[in-house]
Amino acid sequence: MKHEFWQARWENDQLGFHLAFVHPILKRNLASFGLAADARIFLPLCGKTLDIGWLLEQGHRVVGAELSEIAVSQLFEALGVEPSVDEWRGGRRWQHAGLTVFQGDIFELTAAELGPVDMIYDRAALVALPPAMRPGYAEQILALAGGAPQLLITFEYDPAEKDGPPFPVLPEEIERHYANRYTLEMLSRKDVLQSSLNFRDAGVTRFVEVAWKLLPARTGQAAGFIPPAPRR
């Protein structure tokens, strides 16, 4: 997707991807990562998600990357804080207390600029990109955050019924991008078409939300993923 597409979405307030609540998948699964109380969590393509405020309330530090200046401005405004703003080579860096957001092109960001992170939370980044861009994005995430564990949310639907974004990303693609560095555990999968107002008018017959837990693979560990345990 070209930068102009996303800039126009924010300028025209076309924000169907923005949730008016903290994501239940994050709230349900964060503790399972065993993070320290002040862990630094990276949110690529973070928008103005309410998840950031919730993570800060839990005592964690958050670093985001976001293209839109409108999104970043509205994020800090919603948090009720006045950030300091300086320049980095790809755009502007906004900071206040435990929150830093690199506003600009995520592909310009370097690991040195980002700094060490303890976890990656990808709620709406991988699925926002068309197939041709996703391999490069996955490589950039690995270059930025190394082996940091990852909570990843993807969607599955019939691409013949809808043009993204968000785009469908199937398990075999997750394996292709990440199985050489991570063990992949599918935490949950649920058709959210009828249960969420955000997806009810998506124009598809099913819209499955999938949560993944990616943990650094041990040397010699086989690639692949662990399916979710059957519900009782």
Give me the number of domains the chain comprises: 1
Residue 173 located in a structural domain: yes
Say which CATH number the domain at 122 has: 3.40.50.150
Range of the domain at 191: 3-218
In this structure, are residues 100 and 64 in contact, taking their beta carbons and an 8 Å threshold?
A: yes
Does residue 232 fall inside a structural domain? Answer: no
Q: How far apart are CA 102 and CA 88, in angstroms?
A: 8
Which residues are registered as beta bridge partners of 213? 151, 185
Would residue 23 count as lying in a domain?
A: yes
Which residues neighbour 91 within 8 Å (Cβ) at sequence distance 6 or greater?
A: 102, 103, 104, 105, 108
Distance CA 102, CA 123 (A): 17
pLDDT tens digit sequence for 33-75: 999 999 999 999 999 999 999 999 999 999 999 999 999 999 9
pTM of the model: 0.90
pLDDT at residue 196, as a whole number: 61
| Residue 136, domain member (yes or no) | yes
**Chain-centroid distance, C-alpha 36:** 20
Establish if 231 belongs to a structural domain: no
pLDDT score at 37:
95
Residues of the chain with pLDDT under 70: 1-18, 196-202, 219-232
Token digits of residue 222: 């086989």
The 3-state secondary structure of the chain, one letter per residue = CCHHHHHHHHHCCCCCCCCCCCCHHHHHHHHHHCCCCCCEEEEECCCCCCHHHHHHHCCCEEEEEECCHHHHHHHHHHHCCCCEEEEECCEEEEEECCEEEEEECHHHCCHHHHCCCCEEEECCCHHHCCCCCHHHHHHHHHHHHCCCCEEEEEEECCCCCCCCCCCCCCHHHHHHHHCCCEEEEEEEEEECCCCCCCCCCCCCCCCEEEEEEEEECCCCCCCCEECCCCCC
C-alpha 118: how far from its chain's center?
A: 14
Q: Is residue 25 part of a domain?
A: yes
Residue 228 lies in a domain: no
Name which of 188, 149, 157, 138 is nearest 23 in CA terms.
188
Other beta carbons within 10 angstroms of residue 4's beta carbon come to: 9
Is 120 a domain residue?
yes
